[in-house]
Structure 1
Amino acid sequence: MAHSPTEIRAALLQAAEQLLVASEDSDVSTRAVCDRVGVGQPVLYRVFGDKQGLLDALAEVGLERYAARKVELEVTADPVADLRKGWTDHLVFASENPAIYRLMFSPRPGVALRARDGILELLKAALRRVAAAGALQHDLDESAAMILSANVGLAMNRLTQPAVYDSPRVSDALRDALFDRILIESPRGPGDVSTGVVARQLAARIETSSPPGLAAEESALLRLWLKRLSRSS
């Protein structure tokens, strides 16, 4: 039996995930979680506040697991290829962690959005590399929202109706249709590159550091202008 607060928290999360995996309705009871760990329900409420807090913490476990996968993925010199690889890896994560994936992305009243927001930020980081390479032709934030919506939608449908949605052709067709809309797959001549593409490329390159020779206020103003220009086609 776990004794320290850290051990008790970890044991409760492990029990909750085990029960969630075995559940037919994607739900767990706090009593069952506590019984499995060998503690009273007041202990769970002291650690997580309530059942919602327990489920939110379990969703955070999913985010940590997801982020760890992304760290392990090889980063190549081709950010577009890496983005494609990330699409596929997202689907693999869902298939390997179906219970916790549903918890992370199924709408729940009052649910904290930290796990989903964290995954969205990881996707934006990947898209900044694409933009810095001059290969993003659509607004970065909107592109991230579009990709995540499509990726999650397909993953959830695969979990509920695998016979219909599990074909690689479905995934490839959906990904390619979306990526054709937001990416520039092949280099263009200078006259073919839009103002928006150039603005997104420069914005991505100065994301983590101030441009040389500019004061902080000037850098902030430049980022604002680039943000506005990046919304042009």
Structure 2
Amino acid sequence: MTERLGSDTRERLIAAAADLIAASPGEDFSLRAVCEAVGVKMPTLYHFFGSKQGLIEAVIEHGFDLYIGRKSQMEVSGDPIQDIRSGWDAHVMFGLANPGFYTLMYGKVRPGYFPAAQARASRLLRALTHRASKEDRLVVSPDQAASHVLVTNIGVTLRQIVLAEPDPELSRAVREGTLAAITGTGPSRGASVADVIELAAAQAQTLGPSETQLLIEWLRKLEESNVS
């Protein structure tokens, strides 16, 4: 019986949880509702995932599978800086199209917790910054450049998710400022995590005090976890 369940039940449970998360981004979901959607009892869910956190981690993995699958379909220009620019836009588009997945993937911050699936996406970015470094196009180390791009990209995406409204002008401005900062081109002072935090604080009336504080906390913790 376990083998029959294992052939597809695990994936069906992940899909059911993903559907519930997608339907109500940022909200908790019921394990009982997941089981009812698949037509199994609670012990079956615990058999596969051990706990609710185990199921959440499986959904995060599924989210990164979708994200990386879409990025792998992108055309490569051969220019690492242009590919970072395109990757930035794809990252924002994925977050806005999949806020439920995205807030699990990048918005659920716990001290010392770094989902293993997140490393796969980070490797794609670091491959580009290392190529740019070999071409002598960076003024910082490739790892620092990747961290700089990642945390500002995440911050801009989370802000738009919190507002529930795309802001392509903000995304474009922060993207270009970030690229200027890591390449030493354009304005001497590019956008940084501090810039995004400052912008979030300035928009506290729009976001609301609790949402603003949460966004700032996310940004600071993401910067600490990725710069190292």
Band of TM-score, shorter chain: 0.7 to 0.9
Which of 138, 142, 153 in structure 2 is aligned with 1:151? 153
The equivalent of 1:171 in structure 2 is 171
State the Cα deviation string for residues 146-166 of structure 1 (Å, max 9, x = none).
111111111111011145xx3
> Which structure shows the higher helix fraction?
2
Match of 1:28 in 2: 29
Match of 2:210 in 1: none
Question: Which residues of 2 match residues 81-230 of structure 1 at below 5 A?
Answer: 81-109=82-110, 113-163=115-165, 166-183=166-183
Gaps of 5+ in 2: 187-228
Distance in 2 separating the partners of 1:82 and 1:22: 32
Question: Which residue number corresponds to residue 11 of structure 2?
Answer: 10
Query: CA separation of 1:6/1:148 partners in 2, compared to 1, >3 Å: closer, same or farther?
Result: farther
**Does the aligned pair in 2 maintain the 1:135–1:185 contact within 8 Å?**
no
* Map of 1:216 onto structure 2: none
In structure 1, the gaps of 5 or more residues are 187-233
1:31 and 1:41 in contact (8 A); partners too: yes
Q: Cα offset for 1:95? A: 1.3
Aligned position for 2:223: none
TM-score (norm 1): 0.73
Could you say which residue in structure 2 is the equivalent of 1:228? none
Q: TM-score normalized by structure 2?
A: 0.74
Question: 2:160 touches 2:167 (CA, 8 Å); kept in 1?
Answer: no
Q: How does 1:8-87 map to 2 (within 5 A)?
A: 8-23=9-24, 25-87=26-88
Larger displacement relative to structure 2 (92-101 or 20-29): 20-29
Q: Give the SS at the match of 1:4.
A: helix
How far did residue 185 of structure 1 move? 5.2
Following TM superposition, the consecutive aligned residue runs of length 4 or more in structure 1 with deviations greater than 4 angstroms are 108-112
Which of the two has higher C-alpha Rg? 1
SS of residue in 2 equivalent to 1:134: coil
User: Does the CA contact (< 8 Å) of 1:91 and 1:155 recur in 2?
Assistant: yes
Q: CA RMSD in A?
A: 2.1
Structure 1 residues 76 and 154: alpha-carbon distance in aligned structure 2, compared to 1, 3 A threshold: same
Shift of residue 145 of structure 1?
1.2
Deviations 1:33-61 (A, max 9, x none): 01110111111111011000000010001
Partner of 1:196: none
- For this pair of structures, how many residues does the alignment match? 183
Q: Secondary structure at the match of 1:121?
A: helix
Does the aligned pair in 1 maintain the 2:25–2:99 contact within 8 Å?
Answer: no
- 2:167 partner letter: S
What CA distance in whole angstroms lies between the structure 2 residues aligned with 1:69 and 1:12? Answer: 23
